[in-house]
Structure 1
Amino acid sequence: MTTTARPDHTRNASPYLYGQETAAVAQALQGGQYGHSHVTEEFEHRIAEFLGVPDAVAVTSGTAALHTALLAADVGPGMEVIVPSMTFCATIQAILAVGATVRFIDVDPTTLCVTDQLVMDAVTDTTAAVIPVLFGGRAVDLLGARQELNQRGIAVIEDAAHAFGSRSGQHLVGTTGALTCFSFGPIKNLTCGQGGMVIPRSPEEADTVRRLRLLGVQESQGERANITTYRVGGFGLRYQLSAINAAIGLAQLDHFATTADTRRHLWHVYRDALAPLDGVVLVDVDVDHAVPHLCQILTPHRDQVFAELRAQGIGVGVHYPPNHLQPAFAAWHRPLPATEQVGREVLSLPFHQHLTEKDIDTVVTALGQALKSAGGS
């Protein structure tokens, strides 16, 4: 594990390494296959084993996972995808990459997640898919809407970038029947340095994603080693996860139980420390079932508090500016009152495994002072 001389509350998020990652990368390099290799396949196998699912397909990023999932679900031009505006812009860019259009929907302001009712109210004759975003690590299963969505041929593609290891009831995210996309980027709860994973719904879908991630080539790497030609069956992309990144993921996975326990503990510490403060609401991530990715508050004095805490060197952030207000997505703008209010009030507190309880006390003390300055208590 690396350390830093500066206080850990100065960073909003930070990767956390356990010490085995360097040796794992060195071993992958010594193996001589730096791209997709048996190391990548072992990572896929271990993720599938962790989740208890038949298959998992590794790709280069969470955005690549969403892109290939949409393609595997046959979403394309002339179709519409329902998605919350409250997400990182990568979710929207993946929809545009397949030529589909966006229908933004609102969120529950207490969870920053969509609900069954919000989804079903937005369905139209051209809706091809719904992308619920599992914000902050909170699971969203849409079980109340799933039967009708299935009957109408509408795919549920989970953006679970924040939610690896979280549960919906007793079921791990990735096991409830949706086409699920994970991100293993630098600051995620499990990191590959950069990477992603698609959890397919069927063997056929797994085969489709594997072809898509390697330029449409139908034969696997092992099969190509024993033949003089190969077949390109259709459109594809260069989305294969490298052995180097997979090696990091494997080392991280060995310690994931510790990661989950630590992040839940830190979130509980924040919850208890924030309880006496007036003028803030802690965003509910259902911490008993989630592995939290963010710790966020809502305050009507967000901009003043943000500026004051930043001036004190405290690494607060905003996740995320609503996408329906972004110039690139203006064509799909529609009024979303809850999202717009959240967009004005949401503030992400420093949250990562380098934090100590003393760091959290420093953050919350400074937050209380900033709220008083802004008239919040």
Structure 2
Amino acid sequence: MTVVTSPSGLAANARPYLHGTELAAIARVLETGQYGHGAETEQFERELAAFLGVEDVVAVATGTAALHLALLAAGVGPGDEVVVPSLTFCASVQAILATGAAPRFADVDPTTLCVTADHVRAALTPTTRAVMPVLYGGRAVDLAPIAADLAARGIVVVEDAAHAFGSAHPGGRRVGTTGALTCFSFDAIKSLTCGDGGAIVPRTPDEAQRLRRVRLLGMGAVREERVRTVGYQVHEAGFRCHLSTLHAAIGRAQLAGFPEIASRRQRLWRSYAAALAGIPDVSLVDLDVARSVPFNCVVRVPAPHRDTVHARLHADGIQAGVHYPPNHRQPAFSAWSSPLPATETLADEILSLPFHPDLTDGDITRVADALAAALRTAPTGSTAAVGQEAGAR
């Protein structure tokens, strides 16, 4: 197999991992002359559904669009609240605001950076209409302990599984098969990329039909049907957020190679775990790698040193990052801010290490050695917080 990747995974985390078949797939679709929604998109949807083991999948333009449309399908609107962790990409919150609803920020478990059933329960209010667990790093989130309570209150679970395509729950069920409205992202850096794209796993055929209307400006017919008639009907408010055939072609090529990428990502995470073991003041965020397709590798380091370590890694040509600055501290979302002790501690400790699938064991050793050296030369003191906070709930 010819693999087309970045020449340097350490310096190009944002480049996709390509299998070498994507260019031919794009060329094939270019020759058809049909670049909007079309047969290629619908075939991609069928292949996604078969992979996940679900009845249907609705493909859309982005992961953010998937969240927005799923919330609308759940009946979320003005006057409602949606429980969401603050420790997520801002797209999660923007999708909530796009419906006219308000975010209700929840805290997370410091060992996983994910919400738990207890965190969600503590955040519920009489106006909660939906809960949006974020499957951080690709790890599944189990809300089974409160599922009956949520259902009794008419609260819908909309999973932000942007990181988690291919991951599974401890019982072996894939993310997307548990009855939630599950949303995936297929942007350039995800485990499966369309260049840009997303998908929703609907709960019912009626919900799937509505999602398909709303993604195409509220129209009830696709282009091939519209051109055979003298008019069309717009059934409701909608948006232009379908997945083009060009993006779907990339996604189909990626899906065919997904077992390879899943294996590479799991191997990479395990290699990091071994290389980081024993480095003082470093705590690895647990992604449940046996069941997850890891999206990233995140460590916690003492807060007083995190920014210095980040700068020193970049000076060494190692693109570390921080994922994510908490949303309840963002100016745009300050109206919904509330104290979140674990999230606020984590915000100053977390550090994302390079996680391109093309990294070698030598690259990982280099990152681990550079991280250890940066911590060794940092000022001493205030280093016990990582271990203490990691055990908190």
Which bracket does the TM-score occupy, shorter chain normalised? over 0.9
Mapped contact 1:44–1:56 kept (Cα < 8 A): yes
Tell me the distance in 1 between the aligned counterparts of 2:66 and 2:9.
31
Partner of 2:280, secondary structure, is coil
| Residue among 266, 280, 283 paired with 1:281 | 283
| C-alpha distance in 2 between matches for 1:97 and 1:115 | 25
2:20 is the alignment partner of 1:16: no
Q: Which residue of 2 aligns with 1:294?
A: 296
Within the candidate set 288, 313, 317, 1:313 is matched to: 317
Q: Which residue of 1 aligns with 2:26?
A: 25
With structure 2 as the length reference, what TM-score do the two structures score?
Answer: 0.94
For the 8 Å contact 1:11–1:314, the answer to whether it is kept is: no
Structure 1 residue aligned with 2:94: 93
Deviation track 1:240-275 (CA, whole Å, cap 9, x = no partner) reads 100000000000000100110110000000000000
1:133-177 CA-to-partner distances (Å, cap 9, x unmatched) read: 000000013111111101110010000000000001210000001
Superposition pairs for residues 1-377 of structure 1, below 5 Å? 1-5=3-7, 7-169=8-170, 170-300=172-302, 301-375=305-379
Question: How much does 1:225 deviate?
Answer: 3.5
Tell me which amino acid in the other structure corresponds to 2:327: N
| Matched letter for residue 276 of structure 2 | L
Contact 1:45 1:55 in 2 (8 A): yes
Q: 1:261 to 1:117 in 2, by over 3 A?
A: same
- Which residue number corresponds to residue 388 of structure 2? none
**What is the CA–CA distance in structure 1 between the aligned matches of 2:116 and 2:310, rounded to whole Å?**
29
Residue 226 of structure 2 aligns with an amino acid whose one-letter code is R
Cα distance in 2 between the residues matched to 1:309 and 1:183? 28
Relative to the length of structure 1, the TM-score reads 0.98
Structure 1 segments unaligned to the other structure (5+ residues): none
Query: After the TM superposition, which segments of 4 or more aligned residues of structure 1 sit over 6 Å from their partners?
Result: none
Query: Whole-Å Cα distance in 1 between the matches of residues 196 and 5 of structure 2?
Result: 21
d(CA) in 1 for partners of 2:22, 2:11: 25
Question: RMSD of the TM alignment (CA)?
Answer: 1.1
Q: Following the alignment from structure 1 to structure 2, what is the Cα–Cα distance between the partners of residues 339 and 67?
A: 24
Q: For 2:204 and 2:223, locate their aligned partners in 1 and report how far apart those are by CA, in whole Å.
A: 21
Task: Give the 3-state SS of the residue equivalent to 1:136 in structure 2.
Answer: helix
Change (3 A) 1:34 1:364: same
The separation in 2 between residues aligned to 1:144 and 1:251, in whole angstroms, is 38
Q: Distance in 2 between matches of 1:128 and 1:160?
A: 19
SS in 1 for 2:15: coil
The Cα of 1:13 is off from its aligned counterpart by 4.0
Q: Secondary structure at the match of 2:369?
A: helix
Q: Which amino acid is the alignment partner of residue 324 of structure 1?
A: H
* Cα distance, 1:352 vs structure 2: 1.3
Quote the offset at 1:356 in angstroms.
Answer: 0.7
SS in 1 for 2:82: strand
* Identical positions, percent: 57
TM-superposed CA distance for 1:351, in Å, is 0.2
Q: Letter of the 1:72 partner, please give it.
A: A
Counterpart-to-counterpart distance in 1, 2:233 and 2:272: 55
Q: What CA distance in whole angstroms lies between the structure 1 residues aligned with 2:252 and 2:6? A: 24
| Displacement after TM superposition at 1:375 (Å) | 4.1
Cα distance in 2, alignment partners of residues 334 and 8 from structure 1 = 38
CA shift at 1:224, angstroms?
A: 2.2
C-alpha separation in 2, matches of 1:306 and 1:220: 49
Query: Quick one: distance in 2 between partners of 1:239 and 1:266?
Result: 34
**Alpha-carbon contact 1:12-1:349 (below 8 Å) kept:** no
CA deviations over 1:204-256 (Å, ceiling 9, x no partner): 11011001100000123343243222111110000110000000000000010
